[in-house]
């Protein structure tokens, strides 16, 4: 008969393999073997609390982990209890932080508790205490999540926040190397590349992790992110291969979030040339229940965005979103999708949708997409200068994210066009017009008549299609801004 320790370990392994029913069954068998007041009772409680937290049943997990810690007093000096106590501490701290994301006091307390468990990595020796090893791995990963959120919401400049976030990743990696696993640290590093718009770092991290990751849950998630990175860069063959591997790796998985990642990979594979995108969207729809889809609405939009980029009809996209989220999108996501889909239909997006979407804490890629939508709207209204400025802002956001969205920006700028190159004499006049000088003042500076200046201005207006002197100057300023890299 398996011991309680073996059964709790088996439950964790089953969960990491996305075999949820086996994980719960192992915990039930462990409970049946526990003796009240024993270390095994702590072990079974801590193991169940951990799986409850992983299943996003946070209140239950917090209550059980705190009950476990309240019973741990008599075992604090027992080396055999160190792992279960550390594991319960990690679960309690994590759940408390997740249940109160906007309370800085609780977040700080959670971070301190997780960092205290992570510090015990120094005492771990390979093969000596696998339970403590697991607790430390979770503590490092979960503390990193809090640090990344705090860095991104920091009061410093965006560049400083990004630097702090990457420093937190490096620190977490140095600690996690003392344990036998990597937790979710590498996946969080890839997520950070999306959040900071740093494609090269994301690609490097995902390739460090994806082929050596043993836990199926993590491997599926990493393969999906790798496929998305390849798709964004326009690397169609790797995108197809990674997406197909993602689906294959998920066979038998019964956790909704894992299946959603898997079939998101399937949509990428189909979009990159591996099949019918409509069928891939349908497979995504069937991958989990409505409740499962409701827990990850942003994944549905990621799948829809890939399909849209691949040329899928907007009616099919809307039908797909209604089928996976019949109760509708969350309000924040509804504004984003409404604006993007209206633009894809070549209609003006609602001003309220555009304004709300631009207020969202989007990744650089997401924000650039919305700026492109607004630039197109400006162009429809013949506000070319506003369009150019939006496209330039989007280009700056994506300075380290080459590929699909950047290519779209350049195409949009080409559609708007630039001024016909002025003659040397016109260039001298234009340079002074940019300073706000009148024709008379320009003439005095250049040693010619005001009439000659007026002729040059008229010629530039005709060549550029600008409707006025002000429009000519504004357009030239926009073009000079966009040309400065």
- Tell me what the mean pLDDT of segment 24-31 comes to: 95
Give the separation between CA 325 and CA 285, rounded to whole angstroms: 9
Residue of higher predicted confidence among 313 and 423: 313
Give the separation between CA 275 and CA 482, rounded to whole angstroms: 38
pLDDT band of 230, cuts 50, 70, 90 = very high
Give the separation between CA 474 and CA 470, rounded to whole angstroms: 6
Return the pLDDT at 415: 78
- Tell me what the mean pLDDT of segment 67-85 comes to: 89
Give the separation between CA 392 and CA 394, rounded to whole angstroms: 5
Return the pLDDT at 131: 86
pLDDT band of 285, cuts 50, 70, 90 = very high
Return the pLDDT at 126: 45
* Residue 395, pLDDT above cutoff 50: yes
Joined tokens for residue 1: 């008969």
Residue of higher predicted confidence among 43 and 123: 43
Residue 277 and residue 269 in contact, taking contact as beta carbons nearer than 8 Å: no
Contacts of 21 (CB under 8 A, 6+ apart): 254
Return the pLDDT at 253: 86
pLDDT band of 85, cuts 50, 70, 90 = very high
Instruction: Quickly count: other Cβ atoms within 10 Å of residue 165's Cβ.
Output: 22
Return the pLDDT at 158: 56
Report percent pLDDT > 90 for the chain.
59
Backbone phi and psi for residue 129, each to the nearest 5 degrees, phi listed first: -150, 90
* Residue 124, pLDDT above cutoff 80: no
- Which of 369-373, 419-423, 462-466 shows the lowest mean pLDDT across its residues? 419-423
Return the pLDDT at 213: 66
Give the separation between CA 151 and CA 158, rounded to whole angstroms: 9
336 CA to centre of own chain: 15
Residue 367 and residue 348 in contact, taking contact as beta carbons nearer than 8 Å: no
Joined tokens for residue 362: 């989007």
Residue 476 and residue 434 in contact, taking contact as beta carbons nearer than 8 Å: yes
**What separation in angstroms does the CA of 122 have from each of 65, 176, 341?**
24, 10, 52
* Residue 101, pLDDT above cutoff 80: yes
Give the separation between CA 480 and CA 389, rounded to whole angstroms: 11
- Tell me what the mean pLDDT of segment 440-450 comes to: 90
* Residue 4, pLDDT above cutoff 90: yes
Task: Tell me which range, 35-49, 212-226, 415-429, 437-451, is most confidently predicted by mean pLDDT.
Answer: 35-49
* Residue 281, pLDDT above cutoff 90: yes
- Which of 32-36, 72-76, 360-364 shows the lowest mean pLDDT across its residues? 72-76
pLDDT band of 485, cuts 50, 70, 90 = very low
Beta strand segments in 138-265, E:
none
Give the separation between CA 159 and CA 165, rounded to whole angstroms: 10
Return the pLDDT at 293: 95
Tokens 């015990």 appear where?
Answer: 120
Task: Tell me the average pLDDT of the chain.
Answer: 88
- Tell me what the mean pLDDT of segment 347-363 comes to: 92
Helix (H) or strand (E) holding 290: helix 290-295
208 CA to centre of own chain: 19
Q: Report DSSP state, residue 270.
A: I
* Residue 482, pLDDT above cutoff 90: no
- Tell me what the mean pLDDT of segment 326-347 comes to: 93
Return the pLDDT at 149: 83
Residue 94 and residue 114 in contact, taking contact as beta carbons nearer than 8 Å: yes
pLDDT band of 276, cuts 50, 70, 90 = very high
Residue 284 and residue 263 in contact, taking contact as beta carbons nearer than 8 Å: yes
- Provide the 3-class DSSP secondary structure of residue 168: helix
């Amino acid at each position: 008969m398996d011991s309680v320790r073996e059964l709790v370990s088996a439950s964790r392994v089953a969960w990491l393999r996305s075999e949820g029913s086996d994980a719960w069954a192992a915990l039930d068998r462990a409970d049946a073997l526990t003796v009240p007041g024993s270390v095994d009772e702590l072990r079974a409680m801590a193991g169940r609390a951990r799986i409850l937290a992983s299943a996003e049943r946070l209140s239950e997990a917090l209550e059980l982990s705190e009950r476990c810690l309240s019973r741990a007093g008599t075992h604090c000096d027992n080396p055999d209890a160190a792992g279960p106590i550390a594991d319960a501490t990690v679960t309690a701290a994590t759940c408390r932080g997740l249940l109160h994301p906007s309370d800085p006091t609780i977040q700080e307390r959670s971070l301190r508790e997780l960092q205290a468990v992570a510090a015990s990595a120094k005492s771990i020796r390979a093969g000596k205490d696998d339970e403590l090893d697991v607790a430390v791995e979770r503590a490092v990963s979960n503390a990193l999540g809090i640090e990344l959120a705090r860095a991104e919401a920091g009061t410093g400049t965006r560049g400083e926040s990004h630097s702090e976030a990457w420093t937190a990743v490096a620190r977490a990696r140095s600690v996690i190397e003392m344990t036998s696993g990597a937790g979710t640290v590498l996946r969080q590093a890839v997520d950070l590349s999306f959040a900071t718009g740093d494609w090269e770092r994301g690609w490097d991290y995902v390739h460090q992790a994806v082929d050596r990751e043993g836990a199926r849950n993590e491997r599926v998630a990493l393969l999906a992110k790798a496929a998305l990175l390849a798709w964004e860069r326009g690397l169609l063959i790797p995108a197809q291969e990674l997406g197909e591997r993602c689906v294959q790796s998920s066979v038998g998985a019964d956790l909704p979030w894992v299946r959603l990642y898997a079939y998101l990979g399937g949509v990428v594979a189909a979009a990159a040339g591996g099949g019918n995108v409509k069928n891939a969207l349908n497979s995504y729809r069937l991958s989990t229940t409505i409740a499962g889809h409701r827990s990850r609405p942003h994944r549905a939009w990621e799948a829809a965005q890939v399909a849209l980029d691949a040329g899928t009809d907007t009616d099919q996209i809307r039908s797909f979103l209604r089928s996976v989220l019949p109760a509708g999108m969350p309000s924040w996501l509804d504004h984003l999708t409404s604006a993007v889909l209206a633009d894809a239909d070549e209609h003006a997006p609602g001003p309220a949708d555009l304004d709300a979407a631009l207020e969202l804490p989007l990744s650089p890629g997401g924000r650039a997409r919305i700026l492109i939508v607004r630039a197109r709207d400006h162009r429809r209204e013949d506000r070319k200068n506003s369009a150019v400025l939006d496209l330039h802002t989007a280009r700056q956001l994506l300075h380290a994210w080459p590929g699909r969205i950047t290519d779209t920006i350049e195409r949009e700028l080409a559609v708007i066009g630039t001024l016909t190159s002025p003659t040397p004499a016109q260039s001298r006049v234009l340079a002074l017009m940019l300073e706000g000088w009148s024709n008379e003042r320009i003439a005095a500076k250049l040693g010619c008549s005001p009439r000659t200046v007026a002729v040059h201005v008229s010629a530039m207006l005709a060549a550029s299609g600008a409707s006025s002197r002000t429009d000519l100057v504004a357009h030239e300023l926009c073009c000079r801004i966009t040309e400065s890299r």
